[in-house]
Every structure is written in structure tokens, then in C-alpha cells.
Amino acid sequence: MRFLLVEDNQNLAEAVSTRLAMDGHAIDMAGSLGEAQDYLAYSSYDIVLLDLTLPDGDGRRFLGQCRAAGNDVPVIAVTAQSDVSSRVEVLDAGADDYISKPVNFAELEARCRAVLRRRGGASHNVQQFADLEFDPLRAEVKVAGEPRELRNREMRLLEIFFSGPDRIYSKVQIGDRLFSSAEEISENVIEVYVARLRKKLDGSRAQIETVRGLGYRLSERG
């Protein structure tokens, strides 16, 4: 997944970013609402982690403006306020969920998965395509019931394809979701990761198909 972390506490931002990066996620960090607005204007994200108290304004107002403008990116509010009225206000402003400070990383990751499941209309973690099973919660992949070992970024690449089976993803779209803005990437890098993932899925009826001139898609072998 690709995250936008909006947090002005540098220590907390780096701790959250480091933890998410360890699991293969890509993270862009914004220290103010102005920076967050710039990121959202030019990049797409799977989830925004939004602190509510920023140097240049209130995260709730910012969230309300985003929703009014038609931006429906999933947002998890990160708040130091634990009273019920504050949590209700955050959800009414358009947040998909919230998490209280200090942040528990296991809870944060679980809430992220839950938000994406709800957005996708799913009620469980295990996803299936052809004879391929993918469980992002346990970081497990099986081909016809046989476990396959994937590295973190290979797992995130598979997650991208599972978010839209049969949908074509260009190299630009894959790079945008797999890497942060600070990372320098090339088309060759995308090709390398796709080749690695194909090798790990060898023997499956599911395949990462090259659509010449357009990109790649997860499809079932005919």
C-alpha cells in the first residue's frame, strides 16, 4: 500500500514510517496541511493517516474540505483525544476510522486493513483468484494450497494486482503505489519486481500478464 502520513511530530512520523516501510509499504510524509494538499494534488494513495492538530490548521476542517471537493481517499485520523464526542466529530467529518495516540502499530495495521476491506466490500482477509490465495493479514500466499514465500515488496506488488484482478496497471501506476515520492525508480525496476513475482507464482493458473504497450494485469491462464 502507499500511505500519506500527515504528522508534524518528527519522531512519531519517522517511527510510523519506518514500521510501515519494514512491511514493504511506501510512505510519503507531510508535516503540515499545506504539504498534504500538495501531495494529494499530484499523487494517489491507498490510505491517508491524518493528525488532527497541525501547525497550519485543524485536520478535521481539512478532511471536510477534501470530502466536499470529492476526494474519497480512505482516511484514518490519528488523535490524542479519546473522548466520545471528539471521535464522533472526526467520523462525521469524513474519516473512515481513527486511532488514538500513542499509536500501537499492530492496531494501526489492522485498522488499515479493515478500512480497505470495507471500501472494497470484503468481510475477510483471505482473497482468492483462480488457484491463488492471498492473505495480507498473515502475509501468506498459496498456489493450489502450496505456500509460497514472497518478500515484502513482492507481497505489496501482488496486493496491487489483487485490488483489481483483470485490470491493467501501467508501470507508472505500479511505481506510484509501490514506491514513495522520495525513491528514484525506473521502468526496469518495475520489470524486475514483476519478473520476481512471476517466478514465485510459477505453476499457478493465475498469471501476471504483460499487455503490450499498456502494462500488466492479473489474469487466469486460458
How many other C-beta atoms can be found within 10 angstroms of the C-beta atom of residue 20? 22
Domains held by the chain: number: 2
Q: Nearest to residue 39, comparing CAs of 7, 77, 86? A: 7
- Please report where in the chains the cell 483462480 appears, as a residue: 130
Instruction: Answer yes or no: do 142 and 57 share one domain.
Output: no
Residue of 44 and 123 predicted with greater confidence = 44
Instruction: Answer yes or no: do 191 and 152 share one domain.
Output: yes
Instruction: Answer yes or no: do 116 and 196 share one domain.
Output: no
Average pLDDT over residues 29-44: 93
Residue 222 has pLDDT above 80, yes or no: no
What pLDDT shows up at residue 113? 82
Average pLDDT over residues 40-59: 92
Residue of 194 and 68 predicted with greater confidence = 194
**Cβ proximity of 169 and 208 under 8 Å:** no
What pLDDT shows up at residue 1? 80
Average pLDDT over residues 35-47: 92
What pLDDT shows up at residue 122? 55
Render pLDDT for 121-145 as a digit per residue (tens, 0 to 9): 554 578 899 999 998 767 899 999 9
- What is d(CA 87, CA 153) in angstroms, rounded to the nearest whole number? 34
Look at residues 101, 120, 139 and tell me which one is the last residue of a structural domain. 120
What is the longest distance spanned by two Cα atoms in the chain? 55
Render pLDDT for 179-206 as a digit per residue (tens, 0 to 9): 888 888 888 999 999 999 999 999 999 9
Instruction: Answer yes or no: do 57 and 142 share one domain.
Output: no
- What is d(CA 146, CA 61) in angstroms, rounded to the nearest whole number? 49
Average pLDDT over residues 32-58: 93
Range of the domain at 159: 127-220
The share of the chain scoring above pLDDT 90, in percent, equals 58
